[in-house]
Chains A and B, each alone.
Chain A
Amino acid sequence: MDLQALSVESANIARQDSAWQRLRGNWSVRVGGYALLLMVLVAFAAPLLGTVDPSLFDAASRDLRPGQSGEIMTLDGELLKHKFVMGSDSFGRDIYSRVIYGTRVSLLVGICAALLALAFGVVFGLCAGTLRWLDGPLMRVMDGLMAIPAILLAIALVAMWRASVLTVVLAIAITEIPRVTRLVRSLVLSIREEPYVEAAISLGSPTWKIMFGHILPNCIAPLLVQGTYICASAILVEAILSFLGVGLPPDIPTWGNIMAEGRVQFMTYPHNLFFPGVFLAVTVLAVNMLGDGLRDTLDPKMAKRV
């Protein structure tokens, strides 16, 4: 009797779409992704969007309401007619230009901090998960870092160095490294018990091959998800640091700086806080939506748990 012909097995294979197809079908990924893409385009095209140099100010155009027209002096002493779409602040600077240029800083800080935290976290996590003697000491250091509130640690680190984009990125990344390390370590510990890793051992694959060929590729989905969350939180933390006056220097236009300067006059001129606040909220929401969508499609086990 022909077993193969009657067997129903081949009909039982679960039809699986590729990860890419599933991602495109997820509305949260689509909405978050498009919103984020829009922000990236805005950041790149900032000079083309009817902005002026964000550092320009004109005493005659102080505290204009959104939509009012006024004049602004360029560095060459030329007087420009300008419509203040989002109003101006108490120095007479154009809020619209500052918010648009602020997108660059926020995205840069968010993405760089996420990449940096992931890079170090992956290295530390792989070491802790693979080298048993390093596991204890390394994880205790990470626990120590985690014991300090992230904002406080970032403030301390920025205060130690001179405030600049690099130091802010570093400060934020350092506070996130322990979380990534823990995630990677736990992934390594579970993946290395998988039969395919044991099979690789019996196939004589050296440890580094197993680490980079088998374990790391299977960490990518959860890392991608974690990366988006770090990015969102880094954007927020940067804004908080700037708002507190311990982040980037006030001459760099960032959403946090704009809000910090508008804080005093918040009751009379709410637009100083409103517009950067909306941009900040939309960007963080977009990144988080993208992260949620990624988690649901790439890491369904985690999605059920959270």
Chain B
Amino acid sequence: MSVLEVRDLTIALPRGGDRGEAASRVSFSVERGEIVCLVGESGSGKSVIAQGVMGLLPKGLPVTGGAILLEGEDLTHATQRRLRELRCTRMSMVFQEPMTALNPVMGCGDQLDEVLREHTRLARAERRRKILDTVREVRLPEPERMVASYPHQLSGGQRQRIMIAMALLLEPALLIADEPTTALDVTTQAQILKLILDLQARRGMGVLFITHDFGVVAEVAHRVAVLRLGELVEFGAKDEVLKRPRHDYTRMLIGSVPTLKPHARPAAAGAPVVLATRGLCKTYRDRGWLAKRREVSAAVDVTLEVRKGQTLGIVGESGSGKSTVARCIVRLIDPSAGEVLLNGVDIAALRAAALRPLRRNIQIVFQDPYRSLNPRRTVLEAIIEGPLNYGVARAAAVERARKLMELVRMDPESLGRYPHQFSGGQRQRICIARALAMEPELLIADEAVSALDVSVQAQVLALLEEIRERLHLAMLFITHDLRVAAQVCDHVAVMSQGRVVEYGPAAQVFGAPRHEYTRALFEAAPGRDFAFGAA
């Protein structure tokens, strides 16, 4: 008997949605001792299916057909009471964001204890022993201290381990992991993936692993189910699906995953330097009234160079200072020390009035496409705002906006629409058009493709590449994703804790990393042994 069998599962969407069903006749199974990956882009219905299994679907999304069998028991007709009994004991779930999944005002130990108090009649001492055992099993250091702490006192990875411990306390037959590593840094992600693999092998449970990341799939899956708009397009063994995908959609998705091999485009060494930083520092000082002074160095002694027509990538985990550097260069924040040389002119300490004429030369595209455009302004107004500021006549600015829309592969007729009428990828194209309207010499992409689905990411990357080549732009590309960096960058700077720890041509950094941190990053990249993008 399968641990989980989903048969022809259909979950309805509320009226007025973009399609009728969140999941349409989806069938797959999870056997004892295997990990099944549910892969799909955003909106594919993968999380809805997980919620359906756990009985956590919101009222607007009812199960309208099919069956969900947990060890043979149909959950679609189970009462709330029965579902409550089954959760944690037979099936458990680990969520994406451990900070919000844990109660911030309750100690971690109490939250673990709650599970045992609800479902068992163990005595206090036994409960404590079981909690400590489980915390040890998820390899948290100093279990006593961990159990006594509150969620905010732990790191993201530690919090996720607590979540996993909570899910495994009662030894469920099925573990559902909904994007459990998406919010984590790549090195932490690698550790959590390894932990899940180990625990699964040791306990022999079935795992339903939901992810959008094919690297993770390559790392953990035994079998893979690919979802597209609520329909299961492919289900099979990992090697079958990844190496010989039968469905076009799967093939397209896998083909969109960038390879870890740096591109072989030659970079001219003699190209003029557009932007250089010399010893750039940014220190945040907390000067509280009567409080102790605190200093945080977000960037220390950063020295970089971006040449015309070339792309410099800054790679690092969250908190490494890569965005701080970008914001210092755009002068959204003021550097504490050092120089930012734009065509040889130091703009690091320029006053606002002197800086204004130079601003147009450096433009930036941000990560979050949903917040990068003013929701109350049309696309046209967004794109022509910059040129109008620099005295371009309105008619000329509108004409330029139309050309730019064509350049970013969007319909110029949609210039009159508002941002909410566009998808994330389209909005990111609009942001690129807005930046290009200024005819900058340097384009900074601050995690510009990180929030996008893999197929859209591939399109936007191709667009950026085309623009760089066509307009001969210098590009500063900030990303946490090594694959993306490998695909676009000519030079790479690896940052850690505010410092550049390795800096050189992409082929050299990727081919023979010298710094141990760089090596650790590559070690941690999920699916590194798997050749993607070849399709």
Distance (whole angstroms) from the CB of B444 to the closest CB of chain A: 9
Q: Which of B43, B228, B229 has the most CB of A within 10 A?
A: B43
Are the CB atoms of B366 and A13 closer together than 8 Å? no
Q: A162-219: which residues lie under 8 A (CB-CB) from chain B?
A: 194-196, 198-206, 209, 213-214, 217-218
In the bound assembly, the distance between CA atoms of A206 and B535 in angstroms comes to: 49
Which chain B positions have C-beta within 8 A of A268? none
Q: Which of A4, A204, A217 has the most CB of B within 10 A?
A: A204
Which chain B positions have C-beta within 8 A of A4? 459
A-B contact count (CB 8 A): 115
In the complex where A3-B455, A15-B18, A204-B389 touch, is A9 in contact with B360 (Cβ < 8 A)? Answer: no
In the bound assembly, the distance between CA atoms of A112 and B390 in angstroms comes to: 41
Distance (whole angstroms) from the CB of B148 to the closest CB of chain A: 31
Are the CB atoms of B425 and A9 closer together than 8 Å? yes
In the bound assembly, the distance between CA atoms of A220 and B421 in angstroms comes to: 20
Q: Which of B363, B425, B535 contacts A202 (CB 8 A)?
A: B363
- Which residue of chain A has its CB nearest to the CB of B43? A12
In the bound assembly, the distance between CA atoms of A205 and B381 in angstroms comes to: 13
Which chain B positions have C-beta within 8 A of A16? 420-421
Are the CB atoms of A196 and B17 closer together than 8 Å? no
Classify the interface of chain A: helix, strand, loop or mixed: helix
A14 part of interface (Cβ distance < 8 Å)? yes
Which chain A positions have C-beta within 8 A of B249? 6
Are the CB atoms of B229 and A8 closer together than 8 Å? yes
In the complex where A1-B251, A4-B459 touch, is A12 in contact with B373 (Cβ < 8 A)? Answer: no
Which chain B positions have C-beta within 8 A of A198? 330, 332, 364, 366
Q: Which of B332, B374, B455 contacts A9 (CB 8 A)?
A: B455
Interface size grouping (class) on chain A: 20 to 34
- Which residue of chain B has its CB nearest to the CB of A200? B385
- Which residue of chain B has its CB nearest to the CB of A196? B374
In the complex where A3-B455, A11-B18, A15-B17 touch, is A203 in contact with B434 (Cβ < 8 A)? Answer: yes
Q: Which of B376, B425, B455, B456 contacts A218 (CB 8 A)?
A: B376
Q: A271-304: which residues lie under 8 A (CB-CB) from chain B?
A: none
Distance (whole angstroms) from the CB of B74 to the closest CB of chain A: 31
Q: Which of A203, A217, A220 contacts B359 (CB 8 A)?
A: A203
Distance (whole angstroms) from the CB of A108 to the closest CB of chain B: 31
In the bound assembly, the distance between CA atoms of A214 and B455 in angstroms comes to: 32
What sequence of 0s and 1s flags, for each residue 224-263 of chain B, a beta carbon within 8 Å of any chain A beta carbon? 0000110000000000000000001101100110000000
Which chain A positions have C-beta within 8 A of B320? none
B44 part of interface (Cβ distance < 8 Å)? yes
Q: Which of B255, B356, B359, B366 contacts A195 (CB 8 A)?
A: B366
What sequence of 0s and 1s flags, for each residue 425-441 of chain B, a beta carbon within 8 Å of any chain A beta carbon? 11000010010001000
In the bound assembly, the distance between CA atoms of A7 and B457 in angstroms comes to: 11
In the bound assembly, the distance between CA atoms of A202 and B16 in angstroms comes to: 39
Q: Which of A3, A214, A220 contacts B252 (CB 8 A)?
A: A3
Are the CB atoms of A9 and B453 closer together than 8 Å? yes
Are the CB atoms of B330 and A202 closer together than 8 Å? yes
Are the CB atoms of A6 and B252 closer together than 8 Å? yes
- Which residue of chain A has its CB nearest to the CB of B247? A6
Residue total for B at the interface (Cβ-Cβ under 8 A)? 55
Q: A1-57: which residues lie under 8 A (CB-CB) from chain B?
A: 1, 3-4, 6-16
Q: Which of A8, A11, A196, A214 contacts B372 (CB 8 A)?
A: A196
In the bound assembly, the distance between CA atoms of A9 and B17 in angstroms comes to: 15
Q: Which of A12, A198, A200, A218 has the most CB of B within 10 A?
A: A12
In the bound assembly, the distance between CA atoms of A8 and B229 in angstroms comes to: 7
Which chain B positions have C-beta within 8 A of A217? 374, 376-377
Q: Which of B368, B375, B422 contacts A13 (CB 8 A)?
A: B422
Are the CB atoms of A205 and B41 closer together than 8 Å? no
Are the CB atoms of A202 and B19 closer together than 8 Å? no
- Which residue of chain A has its CB nearest to the CB of B444? A202
- Which residue of chain A has its CB nearest to the CB of B535? A1
B107 part of interface (Cβ distance < 8 Å)? no
Are the CB atoms of A15 and B362 closer together than 8 Å? no
Are the CB atoms of A203 and B385 closer together than 8 Å? yes
Which chain A positions have C-beta within 8 A of B367? 195
Distance (whole angstroms) from the CB of B511 to the closest CB of chain A: 28
Which chain B positions have C-beta within 8 A of A206? 389
Which chain B positions have C-beta within 8 A of A202? 330, 332, 359, 362-364
Which chain A positions have C-beta within 8 A of B372? 195-196, 199
In the bound assembly, the distance between CA atoms of A9 and B451 in angstroms comes to: 13
In the complex where A13-B422, A200-B385, A202-B363 touch, is A8 in contact with B371 (Cβ < 8 A)? Answer: no
- Which residue of chain B has its CB nearest to the CB of A16? B420
Which chain A positions have C-beta within 8 A of B17? 15
What sequence of 0s and 1s flags, for each residue 255-283 of chain A, a beta carbon within 8 Å of any chain B beta carbon? 00000000000000000000000000000
Distance (whole angstroms) from the CB of B399 to the closest CB of chain A: 18
- Which residue of chain A has its CB nearest to the CB of B369? A195
Which chain A positions have C-beta within 8 A of B19? 11
Which chain B positions have C-beta within 8 A of A201? 332
Q: Which of A12, A194, A205 contacts B385 (CB 8 A)?
A: A205
Which chain A positions have C-beta within 8 A of B366? 195, 198-199
Are the CB atoms of B456 and A9 closer together than 8 Å? yes
Are the CB atoms of B16 and A15 closer together than 8 Å? yes
Distance (whole angstroms) from the CB of B229 to the closest CB of chain A: 5
Distance (whole angstroms) from the CB of B361 to the closest CB of chain A: 10
Are the CB atoms of A8 and B362 closer together than 8 Å? no
What sequence of 0s and 1s flags, for each residue 68-86 of chain B, a beta carbon within 8 Å of any chain A beta carbon? 0000000000000000000
Which chain A positions have C-beta within 8 A of B149? none
B42 part of interface (Cβ distance < 8 Å)? yes
In the bound assembly, the distance between CA atoms of A39 and B368 in angstroms comes to: 46
Distance (whole angstroms) from the CB of A236 to the closest CB of chain B: 33
Across the A-B interface, give the 6 residue pairs with the lowest CB-CB distance, nearest first: A203-B386, A195-B366, A12-B43, A217-B376, A6-B252, A195-B372
5 A-B pairs besides A12-B423, A203-B438 with CB distance below 8 A are A8-B455, A9-B455, A195-B367, A201-B332, A214-B374
**B interface residue numbers (CB < 8 A to A):** 16-19, 41-44, 228-229, 248-249, 251-252, 255-256, 330, 332, 356, 359-360, 362-364, 366-368, 371-377, 382, 385-386, 389-390, 420-426, 431, 434, 438, 453, 455-456, 458-459, 535
29 contacts between A and B (CB under 8 A): A1-B255, A1-B535, A4-B459, A8-B43, A9-B41, A11-B229, A12-B43, A13-B422, A13-B423, A16-B420, A16-B421, A195-B371, A196-B382, A198-B364, A198-B366, A199-B372, A199-B431, A200-B374, A201-B332, A202-B332, A202-B359, A203-B363, A203-B385, A204-B356, A204-B360, A204-B389, A205-B385, A205-B389, A218-B374
